[in-house]
Amino acid sequence: MIYCVVPEELAGELYDKLANYYADDPNVTVIIDRRKSRRREREQASGGDREVRDRRRQRVIGDLPELAGD
């Protein structure tokens, strides 16, 4: 499913045009974005400092033994 998201401010001029354009494509749905606030713009509503860490696995400490040859 593909969503064609139209901002609410532009819905009056774009929604009908896009809905007609994609009317024959069952994989596309045209929707109007009616969200009033943006979550990421809020100031630390979760409370607290966030620590960004490296999630890669650390290397093994020490030397690896020699492999036995044929």
Closest C-alpha to 37, from 6, 2, 8: 8
Q: Stretch 30-53: mean pLDDT, rounded?
A: 74
pLDDT at 39 over 70: no
| pLDDT for the residue numbered 64 | 77
Query: Using CA atoms, how far apart are residues 14 and 8, in angstroms rounded to an integer?
Result: 10
pTM: 0.51
